[in-house]
Amino acid sequence: MGAARLVRAEGDETFETTAGGEPVVEHPSPGEVVWRDEAGVTCRRWNWRQCTRTRLTHATTRAMFVLDALGPMDDTALKAAGDHLMEALTDAGPGVTLASRLVGAAA
């Protein structure tokens, strides 16, 4: 549903999740940092809460993984984690096509 963007929420965006095993729609707090696309919020709380709309299933054919580093993790360790994920995905599906990029802080 369009490009993923890291933004501060307005507070009226939709976030599809579950509570007690039932589907619910939540709204992030105004100013909360979220990942979102054109359809709504895909991830809240600095990647601690993912929505149900973009979850992985056995039928998933395309996915995007966001790895971020806060605190003591440096770019070398972050790249190593990404490389490990890519290796595991290749082992799980030898025909998989992968791409990666490292986005740094703005100067």
Give the residue extent of every domain in the chain.
Answer: 1-55, 63-93
The pLDDT score that the predictor gives to residue 46 is 76
The pLDDT score that the predictor gives to residue 71 is 78
The pLDDT score that the predictor gives to residue 14 is 93
Is the per-residue pLDDT at 105 higher than 80? no
Tokens standing for residue 54: 């973009």
The pLDDT score that the predictor gives to residue 16 is 94
**In 3D, which of 1, 72, 10, 65 has the Cα closest to residue 38?**
1
- Integer Cα distance of 100 and 95 in angstroms: 16
User: What integer is the mean pLDDT of 83-101?
Assistant: 92
User: What integer is the mean pLDDT of 15-27?
Assistant: 93
pTM of the model: 0.73
